[in-house]
Amino acid sequence: MRKKTLAVFLVFTVLVALLAPTNASAYTKLGYVMTKSSAKNFKIYINGSAKGFKNIIISGAKAWNPSPYLNTVSIGNDVKPNYTVSSSGTNKGSVLAVCNTTYYKSNKLISKNEITLYKGFRSLSTNHKIETIVHEFGHGFGLGHVKTKNAIMLDKGFINKTKPQTDDFNGIKALYK
């Protein structure tokens, strides 16, 4: 009887070890995406109000380029940009920037993203400004917030990185592969 119980226990332990996930993903999806072709060739328009942050905005957008599913191709006054970035003098307290995404309810495809930089954004260090921009672009691609401190999509605070991290890229892969 002991041998049978031990054998069942060992089989159960081996199955749990083999079937248990080995990597946990913290990324979250917002429920909408760009078309794959738009994500691979996304366009940015920087409104006149945000021209002073042009280099920071470009750095933040291009930070996503290491993903094989995303690529910044043009910046300027495009007829139909995927992202419009503007700056506002409004003080929103701890809210430094937002990405308002418009998408088609029928197919969950994004039609446009509008990133607004608020007054508090101006007083950030250059690296925190870039991190904030990278974060907002992440929302525009369809990524939500996470609680873990190893992702640019962290819900509050900073991770002190200017590029998306492994979890962020895993989220993009899950959305656009």
Residues 144-171 pLDDT 10s: 999 988 999 999 999 999 999 999 999 9
Backbone angles phi, psi at 74, to 5 degrees: -145, 150
Site of tokens 């999509």: 153
What lies within 8 Å, CB to CB, of 68 at 6+ separation is none
Alpha helices in 22-177 (DSSP H): 36-40, 54-62, 126-141, 166-176
pLDDT class of 25 with cuts at 50, 70, 90:
low
Average pLDDT of the chain, as a whole number: 89
Mean of pLDDT values over 87-110: 97
- Determine the Cα–Cα distance for residues 62 and 167; give it in Å rounded to an integer: 17
* Model pTM score: 0.85
pLDDT class of 21 with cuts at 50, 70, 90:
very low
Residues 103-152 pLDDT 10s: 999 999 999 999 999 999 999 999 999 999 999 999 999 999 999 889 99
- Determine the Cα–Cα distance for residues 137 and 130; give it in Å rounded to an integer: 11
* Residues 43 and 75: beta-carbon distance below 8 Å: yes
Mean of pLDDT values over 86-110: 97
Domain assignments of the chain as residue spans, ordered by start? 24-176
Fill in the DSSP letter of residue 78. Answer: -
CATH T-level assignment (fold) for domain 24-176: Collagenase (Catalytic Domain) (3.40.390)
What is residue 2's predicted lDDT score, i.e. its pLDDT? 64
Structure tokens that stand for 81 in this block: 């940009």
- Determine the Cα–Cα distance for residues 80 and 71; give it in Å rounded to an integer: 16
What is residue 74's predicted lDDT score, i.e. its pLDDT? 81
What is residue 133's predicted lDDT score, i.e. its pLDDT? 99
pLDDT class of 59 with cuts at 50, 70, 90:
very high
